[in-house]
Amino acid sequence: MRHHFSAAGTLGFLLGWLLLCVAAHTTAFLFCQLALVLVMLCFLRGRAIRQILQGAMAAVLFSLLLILPALWLGSGTMVLLIPFKTFLTVASLALLRQYLPWNKLTQALRFFRVPQEVIFILDTTLRYVALLGEMAGDMLIALKLRSVGRNQRKQQALGSILGRLLLRSREMSQAMYEAMVCRGFTGEYSRAEAGKLQRADVLLWLVYLIYFYLFWQLEVSF
């Protein structure tokens, strides 16, 4: 998929596909979308599938906790569609991340005329949030391994970890700025590669038309 479909065509297909998912109010159409997600999962390795399913199920459990008061107050079973849609949304976004590299996605955002400032924030923030999260996890593991017995001063230990993360984030931001200056980055994202639609994109939009027809028959006609 990453070699045949363009990033702009794939991102456009995903946005339209998610719009149909959000607008659906019956399980029949959602099961049709689930079939496509399961097919796309079959082309990935076991480790990637496990990561996608773990993230999607965590989002489903969180959405279930949010709708429990609505179920308790008798809002009906329609609210159960929210966890279903949550699974489809999170899984499809994770699949997009697996099939397309991040630089292609940023170029696709430029194809849809997203402001460059927004792309820059997404491009830098999401990466460094993940890196700082991994660092925080490593620091917590190191703290547990070095601790003997029960630590009664947990606030002091947590403050030490947060302070180190703050200093580390400052060092990383300075290093990123210097690397961008050395590479001549001016804050502009090119649209050249993202604007080149491939012939295989026709297959994507054919699949989207099929889903739009199913949506019309299952959701609108009824």
- Listed by start position, the domains of the chain span 7-100+194-220, 116-182
Query: How far is it, in rounded angstroms, from Cα 125 to Cα 171?
Result: 15
User: What's the angle, vertex CA 212, arms to CA 12 and CA 197, rounded to 5?
Assistant: 30
How far is residue 32 from each of residues 96, 168, 214, measured CA to CA in Å?
18, 46, 8
**What pLDDT is recorded for position 37?**
92
| 58 vs 74, higher pLDDT | 58
The SS3 call for residue 18 is helix
Q: What is the mean pLDDT of the chain?
A: 79
User: What's the angle, vertex CA 39, arms to CA 38 and CA 40, rounded to 5?
Assistant: 90
Query: How far is it, in rounded angstroms, from Cα 49 to Cα 171?
Result: 34
Does the pLDDT value for residue 144 go beyond 80?
no
Query: How far is it, in rounded angstroms, from Cα 86 to Cα 60?
Result: 6
Q: Which of 138, 189, 188 is nearest to 164 (CA)?
A: 138
Query: How far is it, in rounded angstroms, from Cα 51 to Cα 124?
Result: 22
Task: Give tens-digit pLDDT for 67-88.
Answer: 887 777 766 667 888 889 999 9
pLDDT tier at 191, thresholds 50, 70, 90: low
**What pLDDT is recorded for position 114?**
73
Does the pLDDT value for residue 108 go beyond 70?
yes
